[in-house]
Structure 1
Amino acid sequence: MDQEKVNILLVDDQPAKLLAYEVILKDLGENLVIASSGREALEVLLKTEIAVILVDVCMPELDGFELAAMIREHPRFQKTAMIFISAIQVSDIDRLRGYEMGAVDYVPVPVVPEVLRAKIKVFAELYRKTRELERLNHELEDRVRARTAELESSTAKLRESEQRRSMAIAAGKMGSWDWDWDWVSGDWMWDEGQYRIFGVSAERFEVNPANVQALLHPDDVDQLRKAIAEFNKGTRAYETEFRIVRPDGEVRWCVGTAAATVDESGRVVRVSGVTVDITERKRAEERQNLLAREVDHRAKNALALAQSIVRLTRADEVKDYVNAVEGRINALARVHTILSLSSWQGAELSRLIDEELAPYSLGDQIRLAGPEVQLLPATAQTLALALHELFTNSAKYGALSTRSGRLAIDWRVEDELLTLSWEESGGPLVMAPKSRGFGTRSLLASVESQLGGQAQFDWRAEGLLCRLEVPLTRRTATAGPGKFDTSGSAELQRASG
């Protein structure tokens, strides 16, 4: 491979000498650059990279020493090789001065061609090697920078990945662990998530077999022994659910997944795994199962009530019968909707009254007054039907059957006893009934039997006055899951008899 040519600057004010130097150095195969004065040489240096400068000491205006001093002052040329040529005999002092100015060698006149070529060749090769080393050094630095950038990028990605993993573990309530396969003396490694799940800190908790087993629920310790036995039999992966008991006494459900690492002989040498806290899922499953049983119970109760309504409703005409049944079942459906929206936690008394008022356009005929009262589901269902009967009777025969009629509903709570007052006025003349209809009998039966309360009626001429007293804490209407309370329908049957 051909070597890259370097530039050699020949500086002399005599053309004949310059020509002689060209002839002598031609065989070196380098680029020879000519300058006939010190100023011209400076111009060349500013434009061209020069490997070696061959300069005559004795030149007019700017001699070799002065030129060398100016060249050395420039940062680019502080290491450029300069060889002085002198046609006069120089003393040691002159040589010392020349070396101080930056000369690397002296060549006396007459010039010996072989000696000059040898000197120039040495410095040209030195320059070429220096440039090659600089180039290689730059390439190496570039590679180092590129590799460093790759490592930094890889490290950043690894750090980001670890952060994402940590965030995912934290968000997913997960922890990871590692265990040298030796129950007695094997090393354990827990990450932050594992400590968090078990409710301990890395600073105060030493991970060892005894301490880990102490945190397991006593009924689930066998799960750990079973897992160890399975791995000893050759199982490579194992998953199980277990409970832990945190130091503060809280019980948590977890699912553990483990995988074994084996040596060349197939012997387990390490087990790594992930622990996931599934307590919330377990609680959700329990709530779901409880809700399913509760829904089943509520549905059976509702069906029993609907069945009683259909069987016991009396009417002289089919249309009246259909309207009566539909009204009572719709009342039951409305309260069921209210309870569903509260996840069967209960219902507000004012909401029940509003729902019963909804079918009527009564304007200012009705006055309501009372505090917010939260009713138990069974109480809400029974009271909704009772209110429906009162509204229905009032709309047909009482104060709400005429625009002049007025209705005031007041309620209060004292010592967990709800007292509701229903007072009608301004309607048709009221006469006490000779016998109780189904609505009145069912209202009495449901309030007294189902809720353990009392219902009192005062058939005043100016309007009905009804007083209901309902205990808020009694749960007689709430049977256990899988059973439904039919006492209400039975009482209705007796009332209709």
Structure 2
Amino acid sequence: MDHEKVNILLVDDQPAKLLAYEVILKDLGENLVIASSGREALEVLLKTEIAVILVDVCMPELDGFELAAMIREHPRFQKTAMIFISAIQVSDIDRLRGYEMGAVDYVPVPVVPEVLRAKIKVFAELYRKTRELERLNHELEDRVRARTAELESSTAKLRESEQRRSMAIAAGKMGSWDWDWISGDWMWDEGQYRIFGVSPESFEVNPANVQALLHPDDVDQLRKAIAEFNKGTRAYETEFRIVRPDGEVRWCVGTAAATVDESGRVVRVSGVTVDITERKRAEERQNLLAREVDHRAKNALALAQSIVRLTRADEVKAYVNAVEGRINALARVHTILSLSSWQGAELSKLIDEELAPYSLGDQIRLAGPEVQLMPATAQTLALALHELFTNSAKYGALSTRSGRLAIDWQVEDELLTLCWEESGGPLVMTPKSRGFGTRSLLASIESQLGGQAQFDWRAEGLLCRLEVPLTRKTATSAPGKFDTAGSAELQRASG
């Protein structure tokens, strides 16, 4: 080829992938330099001029992000093009992190050879043209020293244009602007118009119009920046909001630098604007998620603390089994809620999870519609069902093969009514004391959910009725023969 070859650095810890990149890129006719680790890549960079760096994101010891950060810290490599290769799904936050580290593009795996070659070729050509332009600029600067003042002015404008172009390339997706401090003339590039939501054809760039697009609470930032430059400040950076003509509010970060004449007077201010709205939203989502996780963790810990504090048993083993059973019930409903992103849980799934440890065959009959429970209701009802199943398996209908259990539920006027009916088990006698099972069930259903728990200790088997409001309203139960005081312990005496 008739052009001067440039060096392309390939960084990956897997030899097979490096070989694949070499095969894909060899037709470009450039010099391919290989590095099998981040540290080896740094050694190559210190010895060799590199046009483009192709680096794998996931590497041991020093990953792609860390390597990019170290490269950008060196003045020689602040404008070197870096392309990340990632074999995993890259989120918007990861992309933003990569661009902040200096990446100019991402290439997903599997690599499409034509796409990779095209990207590398563009940046190699850009590097070559930039070097040629730098050489031409040096030659031009040597000549203009002996020419007229008019030619010197033209050369200065060309240099300023080159600086703006280089800034846009290095910064990526952003807007750049220029303000003639003396004449008051403004210049915006396409990115600047796009960020502010206006078009060059309909929007005249002047201080009044620009101020009109700033958020009212951030207008003072513009005044403060002008005052700082008048005091001698040469660089300024701030975050601010803009209000687009359609009413949308966007967050931006702006940086500006002043150019001064021989007397130190400001003659021009240039800068860039970056739209950071998505980053701000991501930070808000992270903060919200952290608060939500903290809230749920505290709730779960409070429930576990109550279980440990209130559980009673005559033996250590019985105590451990009781606590483990209740905490496992809490963990099961937590899993169900997590799968739904904490939107709620199906009642039938709660019952199925409690049935899972038992091999009961046709001893249990379930009947009822699909009912979606709110997270707090699901957690509370899951613990109540656990107590009913545990006691039935120990002392009631589920403790013998002849026993039967029917669970029916229905919803009317936002009130869930669940009937638990046992039969065919050991003879039932009304308990004389109240234990943790009854206390927790009553407290959860009645106090926490505003419902009612009612028990009928029939000789042929327990009949329990739970009324749970699906909205936080206190349910009213029809009078009957149920023990509404709920003072009996969920235990039976067989006979």
Q: TM-score range by the shorter chain?
A: 0.5 to 0.7
By how many angstroms is 1:392 displaced? 1.0
> Which blocks of at least 5 consecutive residues in structure 2 are unaligned?
none
Distance 1:319 1:237, change over 3 A: same
Question: Displacement of 1:97 after TM fit?
Answer: 88
TM-score (ref. length: structure 2)? 0.57
Work out the CA distance in 2 between the residues paired with 1:335 and 1:19. 50
Q: Which moved more, 1:390-399 or 1:44-53?
A: 44-53
Closer, same or farther in 2 for the Cα pair 1:462/1:304, shift >3 Å?
A: same
Shift of 1:220: 1.1
Q: Give distance in 2, aligned partners of 1:27 and 1:287.
A: 46
Q: What is the Cα deviation at residue 79 of structure 1?
A: 59
| Shift, 1:60, TM fit | 94
**What is the TM-score of this pair, normalised by structure 1?**
0.57
2:31 corresponds to 1:31: yes
Give the SS at the match of 1:428.
coil
Contact 2:9 2:54 in 1 (8 A): yes
Instruction: Report the CA distance shift for 1:235/1:433 in structure 2 as closer, same or farther (over 3 A).
Output: same
Shift of 1:404: 3.5
CA contact (8 A) 1:406 1:427 kept: yes
1:20: how far off? Answer: 76
Whether 1:385 and 2:389 are equivalent positions in the alignment is: no
Q: CA deviation at 1:446?
A: 0.8
Pair 456,280 (structure 1): closer, same or farther in 2 beyond 3 Å: farther
CA deviations on 1:199-234 (whole Å, 9 max, x unpaired) are 333443333222221221111111122222223333
Question: Conserved in 1, the CA contact under 8 Å of 2:346 and 2:372?
Answer: yes
User: 2:426 is matched with which residue?
Assistant: 428
Q: Which deviates more, 382-391 or 89-98?
A: 89-98
Q: Which moved more, 1:487-496 or 1:145-154?
A: 145-154
**TM-fit CA distance, 1:416:** 3.0
Look up the SS of the partner of 2:419 in the other structure.
strand
Deviates more, 1:162-171 or 1:375-384: 162-171
Please state whether the residue corresponding to 1:33 is helix, strand or coil. strand
Question: Is the contact made by 1:7 and 1:33 (CA closer than 8 Å) also made in structure 2?
Answer: yes
Q: Compared with structure 1, are the counterparts of its residues 459 and 240 closer, same or farther at alpha carbon in structure 2 (3 Å cutoff)? A: same
The 3 A distance-change label for structure 1 pair 331 and 164 is farther
Q: Check whether the contact 1:6–1:50 (CA below 8 A) recurs between aligned residues.
A: yes
> Kindly tell me: are residues 219 and 127 of structure 1, through their superposed partners in 2, closer, same or farther at Cα, counting changes over 3 Å?
closer
1:12 deviation in Å?
80
Cα distance, 1:10–1:293 mapped onto 2, change above 3 Å: closer
Deviations 1:405-456 (A, max 9, x none): 3333333333333333333334333333333332122101111111112222
Contact 1:259 1:271 in 2 (8 A): yes
CA distance in 2, matches of 1:238, 1:150: 32
Q: Distance in 2 between matches of 1:428 and 1:330?
A: 27
Q: Which residue of 1 aligns with 2:436?
A: 438
Contact 1:260 1:272 in 2 (8 A): yes
Partner of 1:45: helix, strand, or coil?
Answer: helix
Of 1-10 and 466-475, the range deviating more from structure 2:
1-10
Structure 1 residues 418 and 14: CA distance shift in structure 2, 3 A: closer
User: In 2 relative to 1, CA 182–68 (structure 1 residues): closer, same or farther, beyond 3 Å?
Assistant: closer
Residues 121-145 of structure 1: CA distance to partner in whole angstroms, max 9, x if unpaired? 9999999999999999999999999
- For residues 38-86 of structure 1, the C-alpha deviation after alignment (integer angstroms, 9 at most, x for no partner) is 9999999999999999999999999999999999999999999999999
Q: CA deviation at 1:248?
A: 3.1
Q: Which moved more, 1:85-94 or 1:240-249?
A: 85-94
Relative to structure 1, the CA distance from residue 422 to residue 3 in structure 2 (aligned partners, 3 Å threshold; closer, same or farther) is: closer
SS in 2 for 1:488: coil
More divergent stretch after superposition (207-216 vs 23-32) = 23-32
Pair 1:296–1:304, CA change in 2 (3 A): same
Per-residue deviation, residues 295-323 of structure 1 (Å, max 9, x unmatched)? 22222222222222112112222221111
How far off is 1:384 after superposition? 1.7
Moved more, 369-378 or 96-105: 96-105
Aligned match of 2:307: 309
Conserved? CA contact 1:169–1:175, under 8 Å: no
Is contact 2:179–2:270 with CA below 8 Å preserved after alignment? no
1:277 paired with 2:268, answer: no
| Whole-Å separation in 1 of the counterparts to 2:60 and 2:326 | 130
Pick closer, same or farther for the CA change 1:284–1:339 going to 2, 3 Å: farther
Deviation at residue 324 of structure 1 after TM alignment: 0.6
Superimposed CA distance per residue, residues 256-281 of structure 1 (whole angstroms, 9 cap, x where no aligned partner): 22233334444333333332222232
Secondary structure (helix, strand or coil) at the match of 1:32 reads strand
Whether 2:72 is the aligned partner of 1:97: answer no
Change (3 A) 1:23 1:311: closer
Tell me which residue corresponds to 2:116. Answer: 116
| Offset, 1:118 | 63
Q: In 1, distance between residues paired with 2:64 and 2:436?
A: 136
* Cα distance in structure 1, aligned partners of 2:41 and 2:444: 122
The verdict on how the C-alpha distance between 1:206 and 1:322 changes in structure 2, with shifts beyond 3 A counting, is same
1:232 paired residue number: 230
- Return closer, same or farther for 1:407/1:117 CA change in 2, 3 Å cut-off: closer
Residues 1:144 and 1:334: Cα distance change in structure 2 (over 3 Å): same
Greater Cα offset, 296-305 or 166-175 = 166-175
Distance 2:310 2:354 in 1: 22
1:5 aligns with 2:43: no
CA contact (8 A) 1:198 1:244 kept: yes
Aligned residues: 495
Does the CA-based 8 Å contact 1:35-1:41 persist in structure 2? yes
Aligned equivalent of 1:160: 160
- Displacement of 1:355: 2.4
Superposed CA deviations along residues 6-43 of structure 1, whole A, max 9, x for unmatched, are 99999999999999999999999999999999999999
Q: Is the 8 A contact 1:53 1:81 kept in 2?
A: yes
Q: 2:369 aligns with which of 356, 368, 371?
A: 371
Q: Once the two structures are superposed, what CA deviation does each residue of 1:153-184 show, in whole Å capped at 9, x if it has no partner?
A: 999999999999999999986333xx443579
Structure with greater contact order relative to length (CA < 8 Å, sep ≥ 6): 1
CA distance in 1, matches of 2:86, 2:486: 135
Report matched runs for 1:38-437 at 5 Å: 174-176=174-176, 179-181=177-179, 186-437=184-435
| Aligned mates of 1:467, 1:406 — CA distance in 2 | 17
CA distance change for structure 1 residues 327 and 218 in 2, over 3 Å: closer, same or farther? same
Give the Cα separation in 2 of the matches to 1:154 and 1:271. 19
Higher mean displacement: 435-444 or 408-417: 408-417
Q: In 2, distance between residues paired with 1:330 and 1:98?
A: 42
Aligned in 2, Cα 1:396/1:189: closer, same or farther, shift over 3 Å?
Answer: farther
| Partners of 1:240 and 1:255 within 8 A in 2 | yes
Matched residues in 1 for 2:344 and 2:233: separation? 52
Question: Aligned partners of 2:298 and 2:473: how far apart in 1?
Answer: 17
CA contact (8 A) 2:10 2:34 kept: yes
Deviations 1:241-267 (A, max 9, x none): 112223333322222222333344443
Alpha-carbon spacing, 1:323–1:52, altered in 2? closer, same or farther (3 Å): closer
Residues 73 and 345 of structure 1: CA distance in aligned 2, closer, same or farther (over 3 Å): closer
Q: Given the superposition, is the C-alpha separation of residues 36 and 227 from structure 1 closer, same or farther in structure 2, using an over 3 Å criterion?
A: closer
